Amino acid sequence: MKTLVWVEHDGATVKDATLAVVTAAAQLGEVHLLVAGQGVDAVAAEAAKIAGVGKVHVADDAAYAHALAENVAPLIVQLMGDHDAFLAPATTNGKNIAPRVAALLDVMQISDILSVESEDTFTRPIYAGNAIATVQSKDAKKVITVRGTAFAKAATQGGTGTIEAVATTGDLGVSTYVGSEIAKSERPELTSAKIIVSGGRALGSGDKFHELIDPLADKLGAGVGASRAAVDAGYAPNDYQVGQTGKIVAPEVYVAVGISGAIQHLAGMKDSKTIIAINKDEDAPIFQVADIGLVGDLFKILPELTGKL
């Protein structure tokens, strides 16, 4: 099988999520990449070095500058004449583009796969991760999004991919990028952080959230996450949210502070290697999945913990 992987990038470097997709794609066959964007020579050169990569298709055009699905999907469809499967990371960009590709190819997408069982059979979570389904596709071509935390990342060095330019499919002319507001953070990105400290509603305010969570995260070199309740209350920005509707993470250590552990939150973090819960309610559901639990007042515990680390 020949697979085509959509490379997620920020215009300068390949994003981590793509590396896990390359690993999944390699389990299906020969791995080709697509780098689409404007002025992406550096990204293409970096992509060609990823271990196991054959060809790197490069589509350099203003129409692809902001990864608008309307313009990128026809480009992918054009390349799918020569490929048997299309894979993208299950990030917001991947989730935006891949189903449009699937519809244009008249195939059913397989979302957020956890494993490749064979060329046509995959596992994926349903019902907020409360069940794992094994699904077999009858479609001639496969369109798949890959859960980044479920596959090891391919090495960024050692590959000898060949770079090849692709003809542009132009601008469909139905959508225009206006602008974006990307939060600047010195901390590790949530989905690739080895340690995450996550705060819930029990923190009581945005000020307390930053006053208590941030120093602990800094001590541990951790990323900062939040429950939906904390985000809804305005304690933390939207993109901090871990859960079924936010980010799916699986760090080495996940520290849940003042988070009760609703099923929608657990869906986003229960594959973490070690879960540590700090909560004053000893019956909180979070303790059912926590490896290490500490029952007590987080306003006392957190400063003490940060001080002793």
Partner 1 sequence: MKVLVPVKRVLDYNVKPRVKADGTGVDLANVKMSMNPFDEIAVEEAIRLKDKGVTEIVVVSIGEQKSQETLRTALAMGADRAILVVSEDRVEPLGVAKLLKAIVDEEKPDLVILGKQAIDDDNNQTGQMLAGLLGVGQATFASKVELASDSVTVTREVDGGSETETLKLPAIVTVDLRLNEPRYASLPNIMKAKSKPMAQKTPADFGVDVSPRLTTLKVVEPAKRSAGVKVADVDELVAKLKTMGVSK
The footprint of partner 1 on residues 94-123 (CB under 8 A) is: 95-104, 106-112, 121
| Total residues belonging to the chain | 309
Does position 136 bind partner 1 by CB under 8 A?
A: yes
Q: Which of 237, 250, 280, 299 binds partner 1 (CB under 8 A)?
A: 237
Min dist CB 30 to partner 1, Å, is: 24
Cβ distance to partner 1 smaller for residue 1 or 163: 1
Min dist CB 35 to partner 1, Å, is: 18
Q: Contact letters (x/-) for partner 1, 254-293, by CB under 8 A? A: ---------xx-----x---xxx-----x----x-xxxxx
Min dist CB 286 to partner 1, Å, is: 10
Min dist CB 260 to partner 1, Å, is: 13
Which residues lie across from 36 on neighbouring strands?
59
Cβ distance to partner 1 smaller for residue 1 or 135: 135
Q: Residues of 70-80 as b/e, b for ≥16 C-beta within 10 angstroms?
A: bbbbbbbbebb
What phi, psi does 134 have (nearest 5°)?
Answer: -100, 120
- Cα→Cα distances 145→110, 124, 235, 266, Å: 7, 10, 31, 21
Does position 13 bind partner 1 by CB under 8 A?
A: no
Please report how many Cα atoms fall inside a 13 Å half-sphere around the Cα of residue 292, on the Cβ side: 8
Cβ distance to partner 1 smaller for residue 30 or 211: 211
Q: Which of 25, 44, 51, 73 binds partner 1 (CB under 8 A)?
A: 73
Cβ distance to partner 1 smaller for residue 31 or 150: 150
Three-state SS for 231? helix
The Cα 241–Cα 129 span in angstroms is 16
Q: Which of 109, 81, 107 is nearest to 96 (CA)?
A: 109
Most distant CA pair in the chain, distance: 61
What phi, psi does 212 have (nearest 5°)?
Answer: -100, -40
Q: Which of 81, 167, 182, 186 binds partner 1 (CB under 8 A)?
A: 182
Q: Which of 129, 159, 199, 200 binds partner 1 (CB under 8 A)?
A: 129
Place of tokens 């996550």: 198
Min dist CB 173 to partner 1, Å, is: 8
Does position 75 bind partner 1 by CB under 8 A?
A: no
Does position 301 bind partner 1 by CB under 8 A?
A: yes
Min dist CB 179 to partner 1, Å, is: 5
- Cα→Cα distances 194→138, 149, 309, Å: 38, 11, 17
Stretch that binds partner 1, among 46-54, 160-168, 196-204, 238-246 (CB under 8 A): 238-246
Q: Which of 10, 85, 5, 89 is nearest to 50 (CA)?
A: 5
Min dist CB 242 to partner 1, Å, is: 13
Does position 128 bind partner 1 by CB under 8 A?
A: yes
Min dist CB 291 to partner 1, Å, is: 4
Residue 224's Cβ-count burial label (10 Å; 0-12, 13-18, 19+) is buried
Cβ distance to partner 1 smaller for residue 164 or 273: 273
Cβ–Cβ < 8 Å for 118, 135: no
Which residues lie across from 118 on neighbouring strands?
121
